[in-house]
Structure 1
Amino acid sequence: MSDLEARVREVLPSVRADLEDLVRIQSVWADPERRDEVHRSARAVADLFTGVGFPDVQIVSEGGAPAVIARHPAPPGAPTVLLYAHHDVQPEGDVAQWHSPPFEPTERNGRLYGRGTADDKAGIATHLAALRALSAGGNALPVGVTVFVEGEEESGSPSLGRLLAAHRDALAADVIVIADSDNWSTEIPALTVSLRGLADCVVEVATLDHGLHSGLWGGVVPDAITVLVRLLATLHDDDGNVAVEGLHEGTAADVDRGPDWVRAETGLLDGVSEIGTGSVVQRLWAKPAITVIGIDTTPIAKASNTLIPSARAKVSLRVAPGGDAAAHLDALRRHLETHAPWGAKVTVTPGDVGQPYAIDATGPVYEAARTAFAQAWGAAPVDMGMGGSIPFIAEFAEAYPAATILVTGVEDPGTQAHSINESLDLLVLAKAAMAESLFLAALAPD
């Protein structure tokens, strides 16, 4: 433990420097104008794992963003571990709201700020630190390691299925470690054991074949925006619970972060209450959620006294573990088609679907992980659910049904992933690197 801890401490400065270099690359695959940056990011990641001594490093693409596959063979009798992260990042949003430039990593109060510092270039850094520490001084890696760094996770991983199919043998592993999740706090680690699924659609309502003067016909003819607002309001009851019939609800663990958890971590405004019933973790991890994430209609700057003939909205549905995302999307479609007022015409266009996933967090691999985390953090890990969705985990599970999947990460409640001022707690990075190093060492054959 002490020797490996010293080696982790020794490699962390170089790992941080490499992380900062990666953060400076604006690898936003969702922005077509910055796709060259994603390719540059893939080349930088490939160079990093070549530098660790991996003899087989490839940049691959199956019609989507470039991904990196780096392979190091297993010693005789040792298992192979797949280490996953992604090098693409979310768009930065309004730069004026950042306290420092989003693509210039900046340390403040022990946190490194910048887009991708945590989600998920810190996942790459964690793997890099563990591998450098374990191989320091010419030591052989205790297990076989395949590193898979995806390039379009923030865009929903549309080509992941093709990547898994084309490189199935190269990515095959006994254990899969996905470094793209949260910890309970900066002091207490977590293993993510369930994730909600995701489905979305666009609903369009129409009441007229052309716009009408609102003074001449208002009060007689319904306008599409009013219809859309009333239709969207039917998705929840008065308490804020989802009101669509046929959706699955599970049971969450009996854990809590305290009475001020939600307000402290979300920026909920004074006087605004939470929605839904049940504990916070029940609502976040085990119940469905529906959110209207966009509306298309006449902008205020171009508004006139006109009855709008049509309007549309994008609706996002989170699916509790145990539910089927495709069936839930059908239920949402049926609800929207049957609840529009005044006979308005409704068209629902289905969107993306990602399945939820619940992990069996038992067995010797999980025992080794819990021991490693407890040693590295000085606290036992919490088994936690995740309100967000990582649909590719279900794809990995389907492609490699015999593999044990662990979902970890370096994020914490203050990370603000996907938001402005995203940041990484540097002590959490050190503890995560130590935990992964101990875990990989523990998987070596006796």
Structure 2
Amino acid sequence: MNAPERHPVLDPSALGASLAQTWDADILPELRDYIAVPAKSPMFDPQWLENGHIEAVVRRAAQWVEARRVAGLTLEVIRLTDAAGQPRTPVVFFEVPATRPEPDAGAAPTVLMYGHLDKQPEFNGWRSDLGPWTPVVENDKLYGRGGADDGYAIYASVAAIEALQAQGVAHPRIVGLIETCEESGSYDLPAYVDALRERLGNVSLVVCLDSGAGNYEQLWLTTSLRGNVTGTLKVEVLTEGIHSGDASGVVPSSFRVLRQLLDRLEDSRTGRLLPASLHCEVPPHRLAQARATAALLGDEVWRRLPWSCGADGGPTLPTTTDPTEVLLNRTWRPTLSVTGAEGFPAVAHAGNVLRPYSAFKLSLRLPPLVDGPSAALELKRLLEAEPPYNARVTFVPDGRAGAEGATGWDAPHLSPWLERSLDAASIAQFGAPLGYIGQGGTIPLMNMLERGFPQAQMMVCGVLGPKSNAHGPNEFLHLPYARRLTAAVAQVIADHP
């Protein structure tokens, strides 16, 4: 009988050093080029296909992956069409076979690595020496749109596999799924998951590199994600603008009507959302984790935000200064934000005219256990019912063909092997134990994968730490953290039982 094949034991220190070198020599130059391309998500660039920016970043990333020294790697850019024959946003799919003995192919455990290449729009407020499409490295931070959220993911994922193979360390079968529609709600992704279901295989671990960190000193595991409903609320009272001296007091202000509608949804004094259906109970173990994280991070959970100067010369105050309540407010409680407006001329061009309409772009963040599509229907019913003054009121949720509203996600319980591995990787690569934190953002894929692969474990993490400011001005990727995170991911993959 032949002796079983033996593989070298992973050297975490050498792993971290080699991946730091890969980041500096190979990944950073690619991310500079990636940031320079305005590959905005389809919601923000309806002519994405004609403009070719998404195609450019997909093609560049695919070429980089195929040129790496990863044994057995195959890659395909998959392009589906919808029911009307229109092109869907492309997906990059790669596969690396196991380098250790496994059961038959159908039962072999598979690690699924996820990221996206589409970006948020420019936004305003960038420093004069920075810009969304201008890559700048300063103080170990790479500035520019999309580098941290999360163009680095495909590069870090493949580099982690390459580093394991370079040490001769055995790993399970690995597949990669990199989409280009995430910032638009991933409306194309379900079709790709269905089409690739057999090729994805027996997914036993999902590594999602599209999340955040409580600090840059340790590995952070995302424990929950909020859902989201976005859409446009519009109030119309006139067919054209009228001199305010002639019409005010007779024609109701469209803004006042809009304000009354929002009062149905939100207590404007406290910010609390009023409908009970938008709330859920916080599970006891998540409450305990929030308290532990609050004790670790303290006031930094709110002080790290870029507060403006307040009325007395000090900073604007948060809704609460209790660190536990801050964490719960941004992860387990619904919150309304107005993120855009129409019907309002710029202040410099605003005459004495009663405007014919007002429109707000709403973003409603939902607790992880609240159903997104149901919340979208409830929001539409609440805002459109019995409008004041019989004004024309419409609320149009974003999304396609009934896909409006994204449901949040509460991570499954960690298996003992993964909890041990994550903590060991954090200690080896960061010198500090694993941290647990809920995130206020939304990743629609996570619920989709949990439904499709209910036995899979989830490693959701990312580089969006303090002041990294994804979606806003001056977004940056913290390079030292990204290097260590990549090594931690590789270490966990090597530990996969």
State TM-score, norm by structure 1. Answer: 0.90
Q: Any residues of structure 2 matched to 1:257-406 within 5 Å, and which?
A: 257-271=297-311, 272-275=316-319, 279-300=325-346, 303-338=350-385, 340-351=387-398, 352-367=404-419, 368-406=421-459
Aligned to 1:70: 94
Mapped partners of 2:216, 2:396: distance in 1: 42
Aligned to 1:248: 279
Matched, 1:152 2:169: no
Give the direction of change, closer, same or farther, for the CA distance of 1:382–1:4 in structure 2 (3 Å limit).
Answer: closer
SS at match of 1:265: coil
Aligned to 2:77: 59
Q: Which of 150-159 and 250-259 deviates more?
A: 250-259
SS at match of 1:286: coil
Mapped partners of 2:353, 2:125: distance in 1: 36
Q: How far did 1:277 drift? A: 9.6
Q: Any residues of structure 2 matched to 1:136-175 within 5 Å, and which?
A: 136=166, 139=168, 141-172=170-201, 173-175=203-205
Mapped partners of 1:303, 1:136: distance in 2: 64
Contact 2:10 2:169 in 1 (8 A): no
Matched, 1:435 2:460: no
Note the alpha carbon deviations across 1:222-252, whole angstroms, 9 max, x for none. Answer: 1322322333344322122223343213324
SS at match of 1:406: strand
Mapped partners of 1:389, 1:262: distance in 2: 20
**Same amino acid, percent of matched pairs:** 30
Contact 1:195 1:387 in 2 (8 A): yes
Contact 1:11 1:132 in 2 (8 A): no
Q: Which of 336-345 and 434-443 deviates more?
A: 336-345
Matched, 1:21 2:40: no
Matched, 1:231 2:265: no
SS at match of 1:71: strand
Contact 2:126 2:473 in 1 (8 A): no
Aligned to 1:12: 20
Mapped partners of 1:208, 1:426: distance in 2: 53
Aligned to 1:42: 58
The aligned amino acid for 2:101 is P
Mapped partners of 1:262, 1:320: distance in 2: 20
Contact 1:244 1:331 in 2 (8 A): no
Matched, 1:198 2:221: no
Aligned to 2:469: 416
Contact 1:122 1:410 in 2 (8 A): no
Mapped partners of 1:371, 1:59: distance in 2: 35
Mapped partners of 1:98, 1:233: distance in 2: 38
Mapped partners of 2:309, 2:388: distance in 1: 32
SS at match of 2:118: coil
Mapped partners of 2:124, 2:484: distance in 1: 32
- Number of equivalenced pairs: 443
Give the direction of change, closer, same or farther, for the CA distance of 1:308–1:244 in structure 2 (3 Å limit).
Answer: farther
Mapped partners of 1:28, 1:309: distance in 2: 31
Q: How far did 1:210 drift? A: 5.0
State TM-score, norm by structure 2. Answer: 0.81
Contact 1:180 1:408 in 2 (8 A): yes
Among 103, 107, 112, the residue aligned to 2:142: 112
The aligned amino acid for 2:33 is R
The aligned amino acid for 2:318 is E
Mapped partners of 1:91, 1:23: distance in 2: 17
Specify every segment of 5 or more residues in structure 1 that has no aligned partner in the other structure, as ranges: none
SS at match of 1:349: strand
Q: Which of 281-290 and 269-278 deviates more?
A: 269-278
The aligned amino acid for 2:222 is T
Note the alpha carbon deviations across 1:7-44, whole angstroms, 9 max, x for none. Answer: 44124333333333233131334433684232222222
Contact 2:12 2:429 in 1 (8 A): no
SS at match of 2:175: strand
Q: Which of 245-254 and 335-344 deviates more?
A: 335-344
Aligned to 2:161: 131
- What is the Cα-based RMSD across aligned positions, in Å? 2.6
Mapped partners of 2:351, 2:437: distance in 1: 50
Q: Which of 264-273 and 405-414 deviates more?
A: 264-273
Give the direction of change, closer, same or farther, for the CA distance of 1:9–1:103 in structure 2 (3 Å limit).
Answer: farther
Contact 2:304 2:466 in 1 (8 A): no
Contact 1:4 1:134 in 2 (8 A): no
Mapped partners of 2:239, 2:55: distance in 1: 46
